Amino acid sequence: MATTAPTDLDGLVNWLIPDWELIPPTPDAVAQLPSFASKMRECERVCQQPYSELSHEIQDALVLRRLQQMVHTVRLNPLWRERLENAAVIRPPDSYEAWQAIPLADKETQRDLYMGAREGMVVPHERGGFEVVASGGTSSGSPLETVYSLRELSDTYAVAGHFLGAYLLSGHLTGADPKWLLTTLADYQMWSSGTMVGGVLQSVPGVNYIGAGPVTAPVLEHVFSYRGPKALMGISAGIAILAELGAGMSQKAKDSFRVALYGSGVLPRRNRDELKALYPNLAILSYFAATQAETIGLQLAESSPVLTAVPGLHLIEIVDENGRWVPEGEEGELVVTRLHAHEAPLLRLKLGDRMIRRPRLDGPGPKAQRFEFAGRTGDILHLNDSQYSAVRAYGAVRDELRTAGVVDLDQVAHEIQFVNRREERVITLYAAVDDVLPLTYRVDSLLGPAGLQRVLVDALPRSLSLFNDGEANPTSVAKTGYRLEVRFVPRHSPEIERTSVGKVPLVRDQG
């Protein structure tokens, strides 16, 4: 590479990824390609700015050049080449519009290409230098494996860790005392989150990392007694229980807890209130990740639920059913392409999450894609032939019950789950609460079956998406024959179904 970079944008990105790297001739050549992280660092040097703060124009141009390189790379694999040609993709995209013609991949595609013989890899795994990370399959129950090049994995840990430290933690972990970053994610049985997120957390500059795993109250108190501010990352249930585990610790230890990062989508308001009451200096923020992407989005401030992507880590797309980008403000499916994946690329993978596309972050500081969690793709209530968003349905039912003066589910519920008994035509909303009998009596006395039926038929039409609005009304919901039950159960009740890693799916179908 020449020592002097061109000053025009096209010249710059073509200089960063020259033609002889853009089109590697063989799998052996792919294994020798310079990392995309090295291109990001060189771009920083030339532009004299952190990559995250480069203009969208520069970032977009370099990422598009990298996507073109990825398409040339995957075409070295016969399965990928056939897959692209079947979709009439015969050349790398010359624009993001053209990129959207590349077929979406789902979990089954990933399973076919990267499990078993792992025939989708460009560089065969016999060569070595890979890490295999597995998930138990939170939604499907079927195991799923992801293959990473170790050299690129260390790069992505560093990129994500630096961004997390610079733009999220720096405002909370302050002062001259030691700074601590913990995770209670379990790192066992090949479950990925403890491994992947832990790799990011231990790459945050200037912090001391503790991979604690599931903790007891004495262990939490011991760690929180260390001098200095603490941040902790865990699944939603692992964060929620910190209110219970920390009840007996000293006030000084409680005061030192500054940031709680939760995964798994949503942390109920009741849990937030309990945590805030116990830990007065605590900020509660979302850390959105998956097996296939160690950092998808970070909530940078409590004032907004919007998630910010780490620039240069993945291409994040929010797409409609045809794989096309939805307009800003509209909801679609989350699609991720890992940009640091020479040897084992996976283009346009659907992760099973719904997101609302938000305007990009601009102005001083980072320039990044942004989006807002709207629920799992499987968080759907099926009533005959109609489909209703369970996230919106919960919000509508909650609002109906609150307006009727019955109960504020956000205030009382630790966990929420819909169970759809299709043969019986019953939707049961389970709520794990502290005061089961008084709340049960209150719903029965103020509403009863007829009142709950009114809640159902009024709430469900409001849970339709913008595009399906008008598909249902109270009369059509009533004609389905479905009825609503609200059932209060104690905390940790076995009536609420949980996955093997303790997550609570919002919807469970029975029959």
**DSSP secondary structure of 73-93:** HHTTSHHHHHHHHHTT--S--
Tokens of residue 422, six digits: 């299709």
- CA distances to 131, 142, 408 from 270, rounded to whole Å, are 39, 32, 10
CA 413 to the chain's CA centroid? 23
Residue with tokens 């494996």: 145
- Report the alpha-carbon distance of residue 72 to residue 81 in Å, rounded: 9
DSSP-derived secondary structure letter, 344:
S
Element (DSSP H or E) covering residue 317: strand 314-319
Say how far apart CA 414 and CA 270 lie, in whole Å. Answer: 6
Q: Give, for all 511 residues of the chain, the pLDDT tens digit.
A: 556 778 899 999 999 999 999 999 999 999 999 999 999 999 999 999 999 999 999 999 999 999 999 999 999 999 999 999 999 998 999 999 999 999 999 888 988 999 889 999 999 999 999 988 876 554 444 667 888 999 999 999 999 999 999 999 999 999 999 999 999 887 654 455 567 888 899 999 999 999 888 889 999 999 999 999 999 998 887 898 999 999 999 999 999 999 999 986 678 888 899 999 999 999 999 998 876 678 999 999 999 999 999 999 999 999 998 999 999 999 899 999 999 999 999 999 998 888 999 999 998 899 999 999 887 777 777 776 667 778 888 888 888 888 888 889 988 999 889 888 877 888 888 999 998 999 999 888 888 888 888 887 787 777 665 444 444 567 777 777 888 888 999 988 889 887 665 678 888 877 5
Determine contact, residues 67/315, Cβ cutoff 8 Å: yes
User: Pairing state of beta strands 257-262 and 283-290?
Assistant: parallel
Select from 111, 27, 24 the least CA-distant residue to 77. Answer: 27
Contacts 24+ apart (CB under 8 A), 390-395: 390/418, 390/463, 390/506, 390/507, 391/354, 391/463, 391/506, 392/462, 392/463, 392/464, 392/465, 393/418, 393/459, 393/460, 393/463, 394/418, 394/429, 394/506, 395/463
Given a contact cutoff of 8 angstroms between Cβ atoms, the answer to whether 354 and 331 are in contact is yes
Angle between helix axes 150-167 and 192-201 (nearest 10 degrees) is: 60
Residue 405: how many CB atoms within 10 A of its CB?
9
Residue with tokens 């993709």: 89
The neighbour count for residue 20, using CB atoms within 10 Å, is 9
Measured CA to CA, the distance from residue 54 to residue 367 in angstroms comes to: 7
Cβ atoms of 338 and 292 closer than 8 Å: yes
Quote the tokens at residue 57: 């124009």
Which one-letter DSSP state was computed for residue 125?
G
Q: What is the dihedral of CA 290, 294, 300, 301, to 10 degrees?
A: 40
Q: Using CA atoms, how far apart are residues 246 and 266, in angstroms rounded to an integer?
A: 21
Q: What is the pLDDT, as a whole number, of residue 337?
A: 96
Closest CA to 388 of 508, 325, 318, 469: 469
Tokens of 475: 């009369």
44-56 in b/e form (b: 16+ CB < 10 A) is: bebeeebbbbbee
d(CA 450, CA 174): 55
In three-state secondary structure terms, 210 is strand
Closest of 411, 452, 408, 416 to residue 432, by C-alpha: 416
**Alpha helices by DSSP H, 379-429:** 390-403, 409-412
